[in-house]
A and B are shown apart, each in its own frame.
Chain A
Amino acid sequence: MSGTSFRLFLMAIVLTGLAAPSFAHHSSANYDTQKEIVLKGVVTAWLWSNPHCVLSFDARDATGKVRNWSAEVQNPTNMTSRGWSRRSFTVGDMVTVTLKPGRDGAPIGLITTVLLPNGHALYASGPETAGARSTPAQR
């Protein structure tokens, strides 16, 4: 990568960091942050709660088996700022999840992105395409 490209890359990292608040509850020490895997599966649950929101889905993974994965993002406060909501997922949705897997081989992960059935993507940190849901104040 050339010097100009590298500087641009660093600026992108900084800007992304400004838009993505850090973990409020725990660090990413549970996860292999040097690795990223992509799983396609069916949503079984979407937990929109503190301390972290958790997407559960059945997916066939590197073990060759279909396992129920639990992958987390940050709390609802932080995720609302990123355009996620309680209604982002419905049980039965087919999703493609990019995540950093747990270090011990358990089916857990730290979400990077989720590709929704309608083709839109939700980003745990990075560009977001889904608008935040809001209820206009009645006047």
Chain B
Amino acid sequence: MRKTFTISILASAAASLVTALALAQTLPWNNPGSEQSPVESEASRRSAPAPKRDLSGIWDAGFAGVAPTGQNTVAPLTPLGERIGKTHRSGDGSRVVAVPQINDPLSTMGDPAGFPRTLLFELRPFQVVQTASQVLMLQMFEKRWRVIWTDGRALPRDPDPRWYGYSTGKWVDDYTFVVTTIGTDERTWLNNAGDPHSNELKVEERYHRVSRGTMELTVLLDDPKIYTRPWIGRDRLQLRLMPADTDLMEMIPSASEAAEYRRLMAAPRK
């Protein structure tokens, strides 16, 4: 009887996984993305060669992109980093508090997630479009876009901070594109755990196209005001190519929706 029961649970869970895979694959509109949605066979993905100097397409990190508890590779904080970090009350991770006490500007006020939080938290599917002088990254989360200049310009000196910083990129070989970003707004959190950063943060992203259907993302963070050493926030995160005709859902945190959520779930009730 017990064996029958546990086998039933196993079968139900397997059915759930198969259904989730099928749903993510077949939705032509409002596709939510899913790591478990294979757009081609594993063998095909690995064997089809990567095009040279081309990241074009819609890429999905799946559930690994969400990272709700932050990164466990965070470097030690400087004294300034400790002071700032103690003021952050997060929804998850090392600074987790109950919902009514959360002061995350993204989830409570609808502030932009900012950069590099969009790489370190809720990295949902994103589309890469290449022009003659830019690489554009169109992100499903927040429906933001980033402009990465590839025309050889130097990054600005002492720029006004921006939510998403200033980015330049270059190919270091035919399959690896490296992006450097500075000038990010220190009001944003680094991730969902409330790790802080300063406006002197420098971020390096390394996109390595392994095959036609697979890309790896590594993110290096360097912020000597806040952390005692550089550290890796994403280490060869696997990105899978989605079909070119995928229409992605909107996933836009709004201030009004955040307020309504808090009214329902965080306000004192009896």
**What is the interface of chain A, defined by CB distance below 8 A to chain B?**
1-2, 4-6, 8-9, 11-13, 15-16, 18-27, 29-30, 47, 49-52, 54, 56, 67, 70, 72, 75-78, 80-83, 106-108, 123, 126-128, 131-132, 134-137
Partner of B261, one of A9, A24, A52, A77: A52
What are 16 A-B pairs with beta-carbon distances under 8 A? A9-B9, A16-B13, A16-B17, A22-B63, A23-B91, A27-B92, A51-B257, A70-B265, A80-B30, A80-B32, A81-B32, A83-B19, A128-B19, A132-B23, A134-B30, A135-B28
Partner of A1, one of B6, B27, B264: B6
Within the complex, what minimum Cβ distance (angstroms) separates B202 from chain A? 27
Is the Cβ of B92 less than 8 Å from the Cβ of A26?
Answer: yes
* Chain A interface main SS type: loop
Given A2-B3, A50-B252, A83-B19, do A27 and B68 touch, yes or no (CB 8 Å)? yes
- Residues on A with C-beta less than 8 A from B258 are 50-51
With an 8 A cutoff between CB atoms, is B154 at the interface? no
Given A2-B3, A137-B245, do A52 and B13 touch, yes or no (CB 8 Å)? no
Is the Cβ of A8 less than 8 Å from the Cβ of B7?
Answer: yes
Is the Cβ of A12 less than 8 Å from the Cβ of B13?
Answer: yes
Q: Report how far A23 CA is from B265 CA in the complex, Å.
A: 15
Number of interface residues of B (CB under 8 A): 59
Given A27-B96, A52-B261, do A18 and B36 touch, yes or no (CB 8 Å)? yes
Partner of A126, one of B13, B192, B257: B13
Q: Report how far A121 CA is from B13 CA in the complex, Å.
A: 14
**What is the interface of chain B, defined by CB distance below 8 A to chain A?**
2-3, 6-7, 9-10, 12-17, 19-20, 23-24, 26-30, 32-34, 36, 63, 66, 68-69, 90-92, 96-99, 102, 107, 121-122, 124, 140, 192, 245, 247, 249, 251-254, 257-258, 260-261, 264-265, 268-270
Going nearest first, the 5 A-B pairs with the smallest beta carbon separation are: A26-B91, A49-B257, A15-B13, A127-B12, A137-B28
Within the complex, what minimum Cβ distance (angstroms) separates A102 from chain B? 9
Is the Cβ of B16 less than 8 Å from the Cβ of A51?
Answer: no
Is the Cβ of A8 less than 8 Å from the Cβ of B10?
Answer: yes
Q: Report how far A19 CA is from B24 CA in the complex, Å.
A: 11
Is the Cβ of B6 less than 8 Å from the Cβ of A134?
Answer: no
Given A127-B12, A137-B245, do A82 and B20 touch, yes or no (CB 8 Å)? yes
- Residues on A with C-beta less than 8 A from B249 are 76-77, 80
Question: Quick one: closest A residue to B141, CB to CB?
Answer: A77
Is the Cβ of B30 less than 8 Å from the Cβ of A19?
Answer: no
- Residues on B with C-beta less than 8 A from A2 are 2-3
Is the Cβ of A24 less than 8 Å from the Cβ of B264?
Answer: no
- Residues on B with C-beta less than 8 A from A67 are 270
- Residues on B with C-beta less than 8 A from A106 are 268-270
Is the Cβ of B30 less than 8 Å from the Cβ of A135?
Answer: yes
- Residues on B with C-beta less than 8 A from A132 are 23, 27
Within the complex, what minimum Cβ distance (angstroms) separates A79 from chain B? 9
Within the complex, what minimum Cβ distance (angstroms) separates B92 from chain A? 4
- Residues on B with C-beta less than 8 A from A6 are 6
- Residues on A with C-beta less than 8 A from B253 are 50-51
Q: Report how far A134 CA is from B29 CA in the complex, Å.
A: 6
Q: Report how far A29 CA is from B96 CA in the complex, Å.
A: 8
Q: Report how far A123 CA is from B19 CA in the complex, Å.
A: 12
Given A29-B98, A81-B34, A106-B269, do A47 and B264 touch, yes or no (CB 8 Å)? yes
